[in-house]
Structure 1
């Protein structure tokens, strides 16, 4: 894990919750930590750790988050290429690109995930559920659904000009007034 931290991967704790299990012998007290890891350059992961001590729960969540990292599509202005919506459980998340200088306009677990991923300009809204785990997972699903238009054109076997209906930069440059 020390090698991972040296490569610029940092983690943030979204939530630490005390959970209690009632059994025949009495109550057993444990902690659940929701952790997000990222390198601020488009790689982000989410993990949950459970243990009887807080630090052990954080370490477990961090190692699980490192295993579950994904690469996301970001533009040069540190925003997302297009609008994206996703559901996870009862939670629904809507992400929209924003103009440079807008900042991260989001709340709760969504904000932490987006900041750790390195996104600087975005509009986000959590709908329906307020559950932090499901909102964070829905955010990851929405981020993993993002695609650049060049990738979409390549997958469909079309040229970029045919897909967008606009002329390429080279064609515009050759036209003289």
Structure 2
């Protein structure tokens, strides 16, 4: 999927995943600043992540939101869930995302939950393995979601009818 998806800016919802205080050691001691990772989504299949660093938390969050706007990707959503199972990886973070029946809810932890809810997925089973670092988990989850293919795309690629894709 391509980056820089066009969406209505007013509909984007932001979710702060993690805020970290970082220190730079200088001649006079330590200088503290803040790092924030934010997930941005419209709830209809567009989701992005961003990282911002600043001396104040609010500035770090606003920088992260600006960065997330640049990294939006479009993901397919079928019946409020993902179309098929998929693994995602980023650095040491591994995730597994699986479709779920209506009424299941979002069964995912921390950073994965933020990404899936921002994207507009309402029923999904997800598991995070490996690194629990929020940066790696967010990026691995977006990697898994961006590799998903909608049923109509699969039907066109295979040159078969859409019903054939659903029935196997």
TM score, norm. by length of structure 1: 0.85
- Confirm whether residue 64 of structure 1 aligns to residue 79 of structure 2: no
Q: CA deviation at 1:30?
A: 0.6
- 2-side partners of 1:160 and 1:5: how far apart? 32
Gaps of 5+ in 1: 168-177
Residue 141 (structure 1) aligned to one of 140, 143, 149: 143
Residue 122 (structure 2) aligned to one of 103, 120, 123: 120
Q: CA deviation at 1:153?
A: 2.9
Q: CA deviation at 1:10?
A: 1.1
Q: CA deviation at 1:155?
A: 2.3
The residue that corresponds to 1:172 in the other structure is none
- 2-side partners of 1:14 and 1:161: how far apart? 37
RMSD between aligned residues: 2.1
The residue that corresponds to 1:79 in the other structure is 81
Bigger Cα Rg: 1
Which structure 2 residues correspond to residues 9-24 of structure 1 after superposition, within 5 A? 9-24=12-27
Which structure 2 residues correspond to residues 1-177 of structure 1 after superposition, within 5 A? 7-75=10-78, 77-156=79-158, 158-160=159-161, 164=165
- Count of matched residue positions in the alignment of Structure 1 and Structure 2: 162
Q: CA deviation at 1:154?
A: 1.6
Shift of the 71–133 alpha-carbon distance from structure 1 to 2, 3 Å rule, reads same
- 2-side partners of 1:134 and 1:159: how far apart? 37
Q: CA deviation at 1:162?
A: 9.9
Of residues 143-152 and 62-71 in structure 1, the stretch that sits farther from structure 2 once superposed is 143-152
Shift of the 23–110 alpha-carbon distance from structure 1 to 2, 3 Å rule, reads same
- 2-side partners of 1:160 and 1:141: how far apart? 28
- 2-side partners of 1:83 and 1:35: how far apart? 25
